[in-house]
Structure 1
Amino acid sequence: MIILGCSGSIGVNALEIAKRFCLEIEVLGAGKNISLLNKQISEHHPKAIAIADAQDIPKITPAFQGKIYIGKEGILQAILDSKSKLVLNALTGFLGLEPTLCAIHCGKKVALANKESLVAGGELIDISKIIPIDSEHFSLSYLLGFPKTSRPFRNLYITASGGAFRDMDLNEIPHQNALNALKHPNWQMGKKITIDSATMVNKLFEILEAYWLFGNKNIDAFIERNSHIHALVEFWDGSVVAHFANANMQLPIAYAIQLGLGLPESFLHSFHTNKAIPDSIISQLDFQNKNYQLQKIESARYPLWNLKSVLLENPKLGLVLNAANEIAVEAFLQDSISFGTMTQIVQDSMQTFNKIHFKSKEEMIALDQEVRDYTRRKL
């Protein structure tokens, strides 16, 4: 398979799964973390790699004798040249959209961790080729039986941690800086996704992803502080089922690889043939003596949550949300603006570009640039 974003947490976990199940890696895409890439090359022996900058070529270990692809165009060419049936896309940001489209065009399956592919370009994507890796959408798929015929459902629910400011006095939140916003209460993640967790933009993204993946607008989210309940499905008969699991991305990654390569689920047990009961893919959840509560997401604490209904009415607006948010978050992380100003800038861009249309990749990319230029002028 191909792993794009191999130096991030999803990519690292995907390589752990590949090692565990003795799967061959054809291409590794690593960006600029060459030291980690060299370690991964030594362990997994890819036939090709993709890096961000040609100036880093001399840093690649001399032991690697395969092909080196450079930059965004290099990623696309690597996909075109590859024989792999599966592309695991864990790239961050809008950069990840074109590789998703390219992989689908080549007839490959995409194990998707790049939110922006669906948030910005869901209209252009063949969903039948997508296998979600986000824990929430994996959990929904798990509850609905993956690609098997599922019972009709009434509502889908995903959960959120609440982010860094879930318990802070409301009057203090707008004045917070990036250092405080990066203090996630449950775990360590990348900077951008941690900020998006604090604003609840990450959950808006996931609402849109769920819309494109499951073709339904009856989607909502709650705060679940333990991060043990990842999704719930309410069926037409009135019953509700929930997916509980420890927050470990190796679980959705393992299933995505199994499904993407067309392997039977029994493959996930195959490395323990000498055991009557195989080991778990991730550690088993200790749910005893836990207080589980689903809390409403309050717009007073998360003003951008008010955009949910607007986005579901016109899902193409996800492109505007993503573009404006990427620019605003970048400025916030550089301490150029406050937390409250970041929220206001995103709201302003959404109001300005409230009626958008695009029918092609080229039109979408041009509109994305227009939104980014407008948002930068507002900083």
Structure 2
Amino acid sequence: MRGVFISGGTGSIGSSALSVIRQNTDSLKLIGFSYNNNHEKAKEIISEFKPKYVFSNQLTDLDVPNQITDEDDLMEVFCLESIEFIICGVSGFEGLKSTMLASKSGKKILLANKESIVTAGSIFLESCKKYDSQIFPIDSEHNAVLQCLDTKSSNSEISKVMLTASGGPFYGMSMDQLKEITPEQAANHPNWKMGTKISIDSATLMNKCLEVIEAAILFKIESDKINAVIHPQSILHAMVTYVDGSSIAHLSNPSMEVPIANMLRGDNRISINFEELLTSERALEFFPIPHEKESLFEIASDVIKRQGNRGAIFNAINEVAVQQFRDSKISFLDIDKVIKGTYSVMPMSKLDSIEEVYFYDQEARIKSLEMIKSLSH
């Protein structure tokens, strides 16, 4: 039996992981999970899966053998022999703390939190190396790249890595139409079942910018070899083209259960329920990134080439802008203005510690709010 701990058990990644475990109870067992404040969902998970450990920042009335609120105790749980996989499913910069903790466990880390790579890439990767922790990406695009990489080839033999973006719910709309977009509309993704923030990131294409950065750092691929295209059907997730003209692509239905199941495997693949992928009625379409979004991808390229504190700054600005949009303080189109305007005035430097990541994250958040105030005047 292979033991699993889920950081962010009540979130969208957690729900997908639990579905995979539910379909493979003969080989997978939920040993524990963490959550924030969705107590009712936590109780449902405990009732069905009977985990031994639950971590939350506050004590609540949970029917579980071990309820943990201390991070040192959580670290002890991560290191238990009964746990083979730690799924890092907490979204946003908030997930960095638990991901860094997991990096010291010596376990297989199933990484969904792209912000850990974007904001603290070298520091996180060095910690994993120091403690012999292995990273397995479960973001659909990065898991797809991993499956497309030829183990007999080196990165120098890669000509291009293509990541796909659905384009979100507004692809093809005019700038005038986008002016009146509401947070509820932006969170309504046409293909994926995701949290509100990442759904809005998908609508702005900022999510794809972060994924391009993650791919470059995680797989050690030059930024000019990575590109993104719009693929409205969300079927082909990534394609790797080699110098001999061969291209290997990964296709699956838009479900996070697919990459999670792929990474929870042992020597053999595990089974999940899925619908037939390609039918005669389904066409696959690909379009270039809209011209008005190219400047965001140029910033992503700058983050890759220069790294240091740039990823932490880029991510923090976006998180502030998205939250302000959700709070109806700025418009949908203002999100890009805040990102580009704030990034251009932030001081850039190298990073030497995780403390500096948090420092520059806060600095960028402060500067972003100042930029937002200037937009309203």
TM-score grouping bracket, smaller chain normalisation: 0.7 to 0.9
**Contact kept in structure 1, 2:351 and 2:357, CA below 8 Å:** yes
Q: Establish whether residue 363 from structure 1 lines up as the match of residue 356 from structure 2.
A: yes
Q: Establish whether residue 295 from structure 1 lines up as the match of residue 302 from structure 2.
A: no
Q: Give the unaligned 5+ runs of structure 2.
A: 373-377
**Contact kept in structure 2, 1:80 and 1:102, CA below 8 Å:** no
Equivalent residue in structure 1 for 2:246, among 218, 239, 242:
239
- In the alignment, the residues of structure 2 paired with residue 253 and residue 197 of structure 1 have an alpha-carbon distance, to the nearest angstrom, of 20
- Name whichever of 217-226 and 11-20 sits farther off: 11-20
- In the alignment, the residues of structure 1 paired with residue 365 and residue 76 of structure 2 have an alpha-carbon distance, to the nearest angstrom, of 29
Identical positions, percent = 31
Q: Establish whether residue 4 from structure 1 lines up as the match of residue 3 from structure 2.
A: no
Structure 2 CA distance for partners of 1:11 and 1:150, relative to 1, 3 Å: farther
Partner residue, 2:278: 286
Equivalent residue in structure 2 for 1:79, among 51, 57, 75:
75
The aligned amino acid for 1:293 is E
**Contact kept in structure 2, 1:299 and 1:305, CA below 8 Å:** no
Partner residue, 1:274: none
- In the alignment, the residues of structure 1 paired with residue 354 and residue 316 of structure 2 have an alpha-carbon distance, to the nearest angstrom, of 15
Q: C-alpha displacement at 1:241, in angstroms?
A: 2.0
Q: Establish whether residue 20 from structure 1 lines up as the match of residue 23 from structure 2.
A: yes
Q: C-alpha displacement at 1:12, in angstroms?
A: 1.1
- In the alignment, the residues of structure 2 paired with residue 200 and residue 117 of structure 1 have an alpha-carbon distance, to the nearest angstrom, of 19
**Contact kept in structure 2, 1:250 and 1:282, CA below 8 Å:** no
- In the alignment, the residues of structure 2 paired with residue 186 and residue 3 of structure 1 have an alpha-carbon distance, to the nearest angstrom, of 24
Partner residue, 1:310: 302
- In the alignment, the residues of structure 1 paired with residue 46 and residue 75 of structure 2 have an alpha-carbon distance, to the nearest angstrom, of 18
Q: C-alpha displacement at 1:86, in angstroms?
A: 1.9
- In the alignment, the residues of structure 1 paired with residue 21 and residue 160 of structure 2 have an alpha-carbon distance, to the nearest angstrom, of 34
Q: Give the unaligned 5+ runs of structure 1.
A: 270-279
SS of alignment partner, residue 24 of structure 1: strand
Alignment of 1:196-215 (within 5 A): 196-215=201-220
Q: Establish whether residue 31 from structure 1 lines up as the match of residue 31 from structure 2.
A: no
The aligned amino acid for 2:86 is V
Q: C-alpha displacement at 1:354, in angstroms?
A: 5.2
What is the TM-score of this pair, normalised by structure 1?
0.87
Partner residue, 2:194: 189
**Contact kept in structure 2, 1:120 and 1:322, CA below 8 Å:** yes
User: RMSD of the TM alignment (CA)?
Assistant: 2.0
**Contact kept in structure 1, 2:8 and 2:89, CA below 8 Å:** yes
Q: C-alpha displacement at 1:355, in angstroms?
A: 1.9
- In the alignment, the residues of structure 2 paired with residue 37 and residue 339 of structure 1 have an alpha-carbon distance, to the nearest angstrom, of 33
**Contact kept in structure 2, 1:323 and 1:372, CA below 8 Å:** yes
**Contact kept in structure 2, 1:80 and 1:103, CA below 8 Å:** no
The aligned amino acid for 2:212 is I
Partner residue, 1:373: 366
- In the alignment, the residues of structure 1 paired with residue 208 and residue 186 of structure 2 have an alpha-carbon distance, to the nearest angstrom, of 16
